Structure 1
Amino acid sequence: MEKVIPWKLITAHLKDETTPEDEILFQHWLNDENNSDLFAEIELLWNEVQAEASAYNPDVDYYWNAMQERMHTKRSKVKFTIREKLLAITAAASIILMIGISYLFLDKSSDETHLYSAINGKSKITLPDSSIVWINSGSTISYPGAFASNRSVDLAGEAAFNVTKDQKHPFIVSVSGIKVRVYGTYFNISSYDNDENITVALKEGSVSILVNDSESFLKPGEVATINKRDMSLAIDRGNMNLEFFWANESVYFKAKPLGYICEYLEKWYNVHIEVDPEIAKSQFYTFTIKDDSLDQILRIMSKINPITYTFDGKDKVKIMKVKP
C-alpha cells in the first residue's frame, strides 16, 4: 500500500516554521515507527545540507530560473530512490535554504512517482486511469506511475477531478490529513496552506470524506467544509458554478455587478477581495478574463467605473469608490 508522506509538514518542522496545528499533525505522523526512522534519516541529511550550504555562494538567479522552467513543464517525471533524492537535495542546498523551494521526496515503496506543480498558472493533466485533473495555481499533485489496488493521489492546494468509474479500484485523494474516497465523479478539493478550512464540492456522482475514522457522504450540489484546527465537518448546499469557476480556460462577464464579479475573481486568482458596500451592487461590468493578471483586470475595471484598489500582500485586495 502506498504511504503518504507529509513533506510540507516535514520541511516546515525542520525549518521551525510549523503552526501549532501543523505540529500536532506532524507529531501524529511521527508516532509511526517506520515514519520516525524515515524522519531521522531526513533530519540527518538536512543538518548536513545546512552545514554545506552555509559555505556556498550560489548563483541564485540561475537556479531560480532553471527551477521555474522545470516546474512549468507539463510532464515532470521523477524516478529516484529515497537516497538518490536526498543526495540531490544536498547538491541543491542553496536553493532550499535561500529561496524556499519545497521538494517532494519519493516513498521507498514507489518505483516511479509523477509530480505536477502549477506555480504561476493552471494545469490540466490526465492520470493513468484516464481521469482528468485541473490543478490550480500554487498547487501540487503526486501519484504513482501505475495505479495498484487503490488509485491514490496526494494533493496540496486546489484541484478539480473528473474521475473515471472503476468500482474495483477506489480513487482516493489525500489532502491535509483527510481522505476523499471517490466513486466516479466530478468534484473539487481546496486546501491551501494558509486556508483555515478544507473544502470539498461535489458536482456529479458520489464521494465520501474520511475524517478521524468517521466517513461522511456528499450528494451532488453539496459542499463539505472541514476545519483544520479541530477537524469538525459541516455539509451544506453550494454554488457549483462558483466552486468550479477557476478551472475554466476563460470567463465572460456580461453586465454583472461588482460584488458578484469579485466573488468569482476570488476563486480565479485565489485571493480575498473586500469591496466597498456602496458600490458592490451599483457598478456593472462586461469583460472577459483569460490569462490576465489580477492587477491588469482591476486596472481595466477602474477605467470602466470610478474605483480605486490596493493590495495587502499577495492574497488580499481592497476595492473602494473614488472620492470626489
Structure 2
Amino acid sequence: MEEQKQIKDYIVDYLLDGEDEKHLDPILVEWLAESESHRKEFDLYKKIWKESHRYTESEAFDPDLAWEKVNKINRQKIYAHKYWKNILYIVSGAAASLLIMLALSFMGAFEKSSDMQVRMSADYGSRSEIVLPDGSLVKLNSGSEVVYAYDSKKKIREVNFLGEGFFDVSKSKEPFVIKTAGGLNVKVWGTSFNLQAYADDPIVQASLVEGCIELESGEEKLIMKPGEMAVFDKETNKIKQMKGVLSHSYGWLDNKLYMEDMPLSLVCKYLERWYDVKIMIQPGLGENIRYNGVIREETVTDVMDALSRLSNISYHVKGKHISITSK
C-alpha cells in the first residue's frame, strides 16, 4: 500500500507540473520501466486527466479528488459470465479491452457545454459500475444503461435509466431525479436502493435499503422508507407497496437469483439477460412450471442442469440458443 501511495503522489506531481517528460522523478521512471502494464496505466491516467479539464474549471480543481476519480474509473468492475463450455475466452485480453472501453466511454461522454452528461451501459452477459461526477455510485446489471445529466440552470441532477441497477446516491441540496422508460420518476435524497426498470417488463420495481425515495407518475405518488419495496404497473400507472425479502431483490450483486414461486418463463428471462442467450420454451411449460429456492451457478449450462433436476424438463444447446422441452 505504501508503494501505491508514493506512486500516486509522483503521478499527481507530474500532472500538476505540466507533464514535463524531462523532469520525470527517478522513482516514477523506475516504476514505468517495470512493466508494459504500468506504462499503459500511466498513459490512461494522462488521457483521463487531460479530458477532465474539459468540464472542470482549473481554479476549482482538486488534485486529490481528481486522482480518486481517475482511480475509481480504472477500478471499474466488469463481471463476465462464462456460459459456454465449447467457447474459449481469453479472459485477460477481454478484461483489458473492456477497461479501456469504459475509460474512453467515460472521457468521451463529457460534452463541452455548460451542462454535464455521462453515459454508461452494460451489455447482456456483463455487468459494470460507474462513479458519477457528483460522487454517486451505480452498479449496472446486464442489459442496463444510465445517462446522467446536470442541468446548471435548474440545479438538478437528472438520470435517464433503463434496466436494473443498484444506486448509492451522494447527498446534496440539488435534487437527484431518475426517469424510467415506463414513465415512472424517482426522486432521491442521499440514498441506497435497487431499481429494476427493463423496457420489456410490465412493471418497475424499487427496493429501498436506506434513505428516502419518492415514486411519482402523474397523480400517483409514494414516499418509501428503508426496508420497503414497491412496484409501478406500466399499464395501469398505479404504484403500490409489495411484500418480499428486501435483499433478494438485489441478489444479482452476488450472482444469485432468488426464486419464490417463479415461473420458468421469468427464470429464462433473467438467464437471457445474464448470459446473453436466447431461450425457446415449449408451449405450455413457461407458466406451468414454477420454482422456489436460489440459484448461484457459474455457467448457463450449470443453471439448466439444476432446473432440469428440479423439474420435468430437458434442454438442448446450439450456440447461443437454448430450447426447453418436457422430458
* TM-score computed with the length of structure 2 as normaliser: 0.52
Gaps of 5+ in 2: 1-96, 274-278, 280-284
SS in 2 for 1:298: helix
SS in 2 for 1:206: strand
Q: 1:183 maps to which residue?
A: 189
Of 165, 169, 178, which residue of structure 2 is paired with 1:173? 178
Q: 1:118 maps to which residue?
A: 122
Name the CA distance, whole Å, in 2 between partners of 1:221 and 1:242: 12
Name the CA distance, whole Å, in 1 between partners of 2:226 and 2:287: 31
SS in 1 for 2:171: coil
- Give the AA of the match of 2:117: T
Structure 2 counterparts to residues 1-324 of structure 1, below 5 A: 73-75=101-103, 76-77=105-106, 111-119=115-123, 120-144=125-149, 149-166=155-172, 168-176=173-181, 177-248=183-254, 250-251=255-256, 269=271, 274=286, 280=291, 288-289=296-297, 292-299=298-305, 302=308, 308-310=313-315, 322=327
Name the CA distance, whole Å, in 1 between partners of 2:323 and 2:168: 32
Q: 1:95 maps to which residue?
A: none
Does the 8 Å contact 1:196/1:229 carry over to 2?
yes
Identity level (%): 24
Does the 8 Å contact 2:150/2:157 carry over to 1?
no
Query: Cα gap change, 1:309/1:165 in structure 2, threshold over 3 Å: closer, same or farther?
Result: farther
- Give the AA of the match of 1:141: V
CA positional deviation for 1:299: 3.3
Name the CA distance, whole Å, in 1 between partners of 2:248 and 2:269: 7
Query: Cα gap change, 1:230/1:266 in structure 2, threshold over 3 Å: closer, same or farther?
Result: same
After TM superposition, the runs of 4+ consecutive aligned structure 1 residues lying more than 4 A away are 69-72, 78-81, 108-112, 145-148, 257-268, 270-277, 304-307, 314-320
Query: Cα gap change, 1:111/1:316 in structure 2, threshold over 3 Å: closer, same or farther?
Result: farther
Query: Cα gap change, 1:220/1:262 in structure 2, threshold over 3 Å: closer, same or farther?
Result: farther
Query: Cα gap change, 1:280/1:268 in structure 2, threshold over 3 Å: closer, same or farther?
Result: closer
Name the CA distance, whole Å, in 2 between partners of 1:222 and 1:73: 37
Query: Cα gap change, 1:78/1:146 in structure 2, threshold over 3 Å: closer, same or farther?
Result: farther
CA positional deviation for 1:196: 1.1
Name the CA distance, whole Å, in 2 between partners of 1:197 and 1:125: 25
CA positional deviation for 1:246: 1.3
Name the CA distance, whole Å, in 2 between partners of 1:316 and 1:223: 33
CA positional deviation for 1:264: 10
- Give the AA of the match of 1:219: K
* TM-score computed with the length of structure 1 as normaliser: 0.52
Name the CA distance, whole Å, in 2 between partners of 1:316 and 1:202: 35
SS in 1 for 2:190: coil
Comparing both chains, which one has the higher relative contact order based on Cα–Cα distances under 8 Å and sequence gaps of 6 or more? 2
CA positional deviation for 1:175: 0.8
CA positional deviation for 1:243: 0.9
Name the CA distance, whole Å, in 2 between partners of 1:293 and 1:141: 27
CA positional deviation for 1:185: 1.6
1:191-213 Cα deviation digits (max 9, x unpaired): 21211112222122211012104
Name the CA distance, whole Å, in 2 between partners of 1:204 and 1:300: 34
Matched residue pairs, number? Answer: 216
Does the 8 Å contact 1:246/1:267 carry over to 2?
no
SS in 1 for 2:304: helix
Q: 1:100 maps to which residue?
A: none
Query: Cα gap change, 1:80/1:203 in structure 2, threshold over 3 Å: closer, same or farther?
Result: closer
Does the 8 Å contact 2:178/2:186 carry over to 1?
yes
SS in 1 for 2:199: coil
CA positional deviation for 1:288: 4.3
Does the 8 Å contact 1:201/1:223 carry over to 2?
yes
- Give the AA of the match of 2:188: V
Query: Cα gap change, 1:270/1:149 in structure 2, threshold over 3 Å: closer, same or farther?
Result: farther
Question: Which region of structure 1 is more displaced relative to structure 2, 258-267 or 122-131?
Answer: 258-267
Does the 8 Å contact 2:265/2:286 carry over to 1?
no
Name the CA distance, whole Å, in 1 between partners of 2:199 and 2:257: 30
Name the CA distance, whole Å, in 1 between partners of 2:197 and 2:260: 26
CA positional deviation for 1:293: 3.9
SS in 2 for 1:114: strand
CA RMSD between the two structures? 4.5
- Give the AA of the match of 1:241: S
